[in-house]
Amino acid sequence: MSLNKIIYKKPFKIIVSFLIIWIILFQFIFSGNNILPRPIILLESFNDIISDYQLIPNLLYSIGAITFGIIASIFSVYFLRYYLLTQNLFSDLLQAISKPGSFVPIFIFSIFLIFWLPQSIYIEYLFLAFISLGYISLQLIDINKTLSNAYFNSAKSLGINKNKIVTEINFKQILPSMEKIILVLNIKTWGILLVFEFIQNTNGLGSVLHSSLILKDLYSLFLTTIVICVLIIIFQYIIQIVFNRFVHWE
């Protein structure tokens, strides 16, 4: 099994193994270092980090942004599925708009949004929803191009109208593939979220990372990073559970 597959399928084991190695090395062997914090001091500082950096409110803010972005994009894709899976002005325009994004990093757009609306608490939620919608939509368009016409032609010969064929038959063919799309999207949106919050430096875990770096607080930086990794993994498992329950029911 490749390293990527091991990391992808057993993320909690990777984190637990890392924490065990960290405790052994940096508590007992390399105790006087500035690479990673000592476990015992981090444990003693835990409550102070939680309160000083308002870790819980910022954590909930970031979770809300990710959840809203992914769920809003999924519902939007569902209602727009006919326009995404057929050749029309909407799908053509979406693909045309995405071309600049292939060579312009998303964080460039983040900088301008933060410049225009520096104190807005809603722009982050809307930005993530828009990025998520664009990513899922483009993936569906690409997958749709690879589908066999056999089901489409059979349904058409039975007199089923095009709208129903596209929204019911074609979309259901694509639906199982959405699990991988959303799993990848989860990781991408966390990266975008952290960059956005880091630059904006008002709310969220990205702002905690920003403050930790400014204050050179290794303990807060380390704890926040671990929390982020655990949250990403939890979201991955939730996505898999939802798909296993409602999509891969066969």
- pLDDT tens digits, one per residue of 117-159: 887 888 999 999 999 998 999 899 888 888 777 766 677 776 7
Tokens 């008002």 belong to which residue? 202
In a domain, 210, yes or no: yes
Neighbours of 182 (CB within 10 A): 23
Query: Token pair of 108, please?
Result: 């460039």
Tokens 């899976």 belong to which residue? 85
* pLDDT tens readout for residues 62-112: 999 999 999 999 999 999 888 888 877 777 777 776 665 555 677 788 888
In a domain, 105, yes or no: yes
User: What is the spatial distance between Cα 249 and Cα 62, in angstroms, rounded to a whole number?
Assistant: 31
The alpha carbon of residue 247 and the mean position of all alpha carbons in its chain are separated, in whole angstroms, by 20
In a domain, 88, yes or no: yes
176 DSSP 8-state letter: G
Higher pLDDT, 165 or 115: 115
In a domain, 196, yes or no: yes
CATH code: domain of residue 153:
1.10.3720.10
User: What is the spatial distance between Cα 176 and Cα 118, in angstroms, rounded to a whole number?
Assistant: 39
The mean predicted confidence, pLDDT, of the chain is: 83
Total domains in the chain come to 1
3-state helix, strand, coil in the chain (%, to 5): 80, 0, 20
In a domain, 5, yes or no: no
What range does the domain containing 56 cover?
39-246
User: What is the spatial distance between Cα 35 and Cα 159, in angstroms, rounded to a whole number?
Assistant: 68
| 37-41: average pLDDT | 82
Whether 234 has a pLDDT exceeding 70, the answer reads: yes
The pTM of the full predicted model, rounded to 2 decimals, is 0.85
In a domain, 31, yes or no: no
In a domain, 144, yes or no: yes
Minimum mean pLDDT range among 79-83, 179-183, 213-217:
79-83
On whether the CB atoms of residues 77 and 84 are closer than 8 A, the answer is yes
In a domain, 136, yes or no: yes
CA within 13 Å, CB half, 141: 20
- In this predicted structure, what is the pLDDT of residue 104? 63
Tell me the residue length of the chain. Answer: 250
